[in-house]
Amino acid sequence: MSNRDIAFLLQHQRTEHGILLFLRRQSALPARDCQPDRPAALSAERRHGMTQEHIGFIGAGLMGHGMAKNIVEKGYPLTVTAHRNRAPVDDLIGRGATEATIEDLAARSTIIFLTLPGSPQVAEAVARMTPHLKPGAVIVDCSTSDPTVTERLATDLGQRGVHFADAPLSRTPKEAWAGTLDCMVGADPDIFARIQPVIATWAGKIVHIGRVGDGHRMKLLNNFLSLGYAAIYAEALALAAKVGISTATFDSVIRGGRMDCGFYQTFMGYALEGNREAHRFTLSNAYKDLRYLESMANAATVATTMASAAKNSFAAAMAQGGSGPEDYVPHLVDFVGRANGVKPD
């Protein structure tokens, strides 16, 4: 190295670009090859990492449509199956997804997400996929399912070299579309690390709860709280109407106070404002979730005084005809009101 080279290096030693210029002087590389290009390289690495998993998605319904939309729009190859409502599937195909039978989806996917009504539908889908799954594939159940079924499926699939994780959701279809759902995951640590980047395409909050089945256990506890609120709100509003306090007056006290919360506001979106789609979670799914909670409590020998009371509110609504696909949780206020001889105003 000449004195001239040493002087040049000292002059530019504080800058990365200066050092690269010096190396170019030494090796006669073209100047364009010496420009720092780390962001481009990092972007390429991210793109490569994102496309190494091929995602399958079964259940493009109220929640699944938005989740799948975020997966494909954020760079993952996506295969979907037909749904009873063609509109979500056609929309996803327009965004770059591929449609296939459930068997073909299983054969081509490395990670498969399920958003189905409950454990019976999950077990049926897994049974159809099992002969076609690749060793090392991961099935991620985002449904609200029975943890005992989740554990059994995980054991059976594990014998075939296929992994299983539970990743149920919280919030509404609005957040699914925005990619800001909450997600609670039950999975082995290495599987969690593998599926977490994909979940992050549609979830803003991701919590690794623990082993397989723990995500579903936590989801049932979460829904016990929310559906317990719904039963309390419906009964309180019926009682308020019976003693002459209007829904608007009731709300003027609760809203903005310590008893206010996001769930209260979506519930009152129907009870006060009349928006039938304020919270699109069906009464039948609520009843199913509370039955799963009771089963979990029975296995743990825990008395469920409050959970069973909440479940009975939804059971009564179902018995009165509230089992349709557009009978949503906030509509419970009508069923409880009618049972008590009054409809809250």
| Residues marked as catalytic | 219
Q: Hey, CA dihedral for 193, 198, 204, 206, is it positive or negative?
A: negative
Locus of tokens 């990092």: 42
Locus of tokens 């054969």: 107
Q: At 19, is the secondary structure helix, strand, or coil?
A: helix
Q: Which of 341, 343, 171, 175 is nearest to 271 (CA)?
A: 343
Alpha-carbon distance of 135 to 31, in angstroms, equals 48
- Which helix (H) or strand (E) segment holds residue 205: the answer is strand 203-210
Write the DSSP symbol of residue 180: -
Q: At 184, is the secondary structure helix, strand, or coil?
A: strand
Distances in Å between the Cα of 68 and the Cα atoms of 224, 250, 333 are 27, 39, 32
230-242 burial code (b ≥16 CB/10 A, e <16): bbbbbbbbbbbbe
Q: Which of 257, 333, 289, 61 is nearest to 172 (CA)?
A: 61
Alpha-carbon distance of 333 to 323, in angstroms, equals 14
For 26, phi and psi rounded to 5 degrees?
-75, -35
Q: Return the HEC string of 65-82.
A: HHHHHHHHHCCCCEEECC
